[in-house]
Structure 1
Amino acid sequence: MRTLDVARLSGYSAQQVRDLERLGVLPPAARSDNGYRSYTQLHVRALRAYRGLAAAVGPVEARELLPRLRTGTLAEAAAEANAVHARLARERDEVLRALRALRVIEAEAHTAGVEREGDAMTITELAGALGVRASTLRFWEREGLLHPERVTSLRARRYAPAAVGEARIVAALRAAGYGIAAVREVMDSLHRPDGPRDTRRILDARLDRIAERSVALLHAGTDLAAVVTAGHTPR
Structure 2
Amino acid sequence: MERNLQNGERLRPVDLARGHGLSTQAVRNYEEAGILPAAGRTPHGYRTYTSLHAGALRAFLALVPGHGHRTATSIMRAVNQGAGDEALRLIDESHAQLLDDRRTLQAVERALRGLEPTATSEPDAVSGPNAVSGPAGRFIGPLAGELGIRPATLRKWERAGLVRPRRDPRTGYRVYDEADMRDARLAHQLRRGGYLLEQIAPLIAQVRAAGGAEPLEATLRDWHGRLSARGRAMLTGAAELEAYLRERGGDAIHPDRA
- Cα deviation per residue 1:137-169 (whole Å; 9 max; x = unaligned)? 663344232579xxxxxx9xx9x9746632344
Superposition pairs of residues 63-142 of structure 1, within 5 angstroms: 63-71=73-81, 73-105=83-115, 108=116, 112-114=117-119, 123=145, 126=148, 139-142=156-159
RMSD: 3.9
**Are 1:205 and 2:222 counterparts?**
yes
For the Cα contact (< 8 Å) 1:172–1:203, is it kept in 2? no
Q: Which has the higher contact order (CA 8 A, sep 6+)?
A: 1
What is residue 56 of structure 1 aligned with on the other side?
A: 66
Superposition pairs of residues 1-235 of structure 1, within 5 angstroms: 1-2=10-11, 3-71=13-81, 73-105=83-115, 108=116, 112-114=117-119, 123=145, 126=148, 139-146=156-163, 162=182, 165-171=185-191, 175-176=194-195, 178=196, 180=198, 182-193=199-210, 196-227=213-244, 230=248, 232=252, 234=254
- 1:198/1:5 Cα in 2 relative to 1: closer, same or farther (>3 Å)? same
Any gaps of 5 or more consecutive residues in structure 2?
A: 1-9, 122-131, 133-141, 166-172
What fraction of aligned residue pairs are identical, expressed as a percent?
28
TM-score normalized with structure 1 length: 0.71
- 1:69/1:137 Cα in 2 relative to 1: closer, same or farther (>3 Å)? farther
- 1:135/1:208 Cα in 2 relative to 1: closer, same or farther (>3 Å)? farther
Q: Name the amino acid aligned to 1:54.
A: V
Q: Secondary structure at 2:65's aligned position in 1?
A: helix
Q: Name the amino acid aligned to 2:148.
A: L
TM-score normalized with structure 2 length: 0.66
For the Cα contact (< 8 Å) 1:99–1:169, is it kept in 2? no
Q: Distance in 1 between matches of 2:80 and 2:22?
A: 20
- 1:164/1:219 Cα in 2 relative to 1: closer, same or farther (>3 Å)? same
State the aligned residue count: 217
For the Cα contact (< 8 Å) 1:190–1:196, is it kept in 2? yes
- 1:135/1:75 Cα in 2 relative to 1: closer, same or farther (>3 Å)? farther
Any gaps of 5 or more consecutive residues in structure 1?
A: 128-132, 149-154
- Cα deviation per residue 1:99-119 (whole Å; 9 max; x = unaligned)? 2212222xx3xxx454799xx
Point out the more displaced range, 64-73 or 93-102: 64-73
- Cα deviation per residue 1:145-194 (whole Å; 9 max; x = unaligned)? 2579xxxxxx9xx9x97466323443156x25x551x3212112213337
For the Cα contact (< 8 Å) 2:144–2:154, is it kept in 1? no
Q: Distance in 2 between matches of 1:134 and 1:76?
A: 40
Say which one has the larger Rg: 2
- 1:72/1:146 Cα in 2 relative to 1: closer, same or farther (>3 Å)? farther
Q: Distance in 2 between matches of 1:95 and 1:233?
A: 34
For the Cα contact (< 8 Å) 1:55–1:213, is it kept in 2? yes
**Structure with greater helix share of residues:** 1
- 1:146/1:25 Cα in 2 relative to 1: closer, same or farther (>3 Å)? farther
- 1:33/1:179 Cα in 2 relative to 1: closer, same or farther (>3 Å)? farther
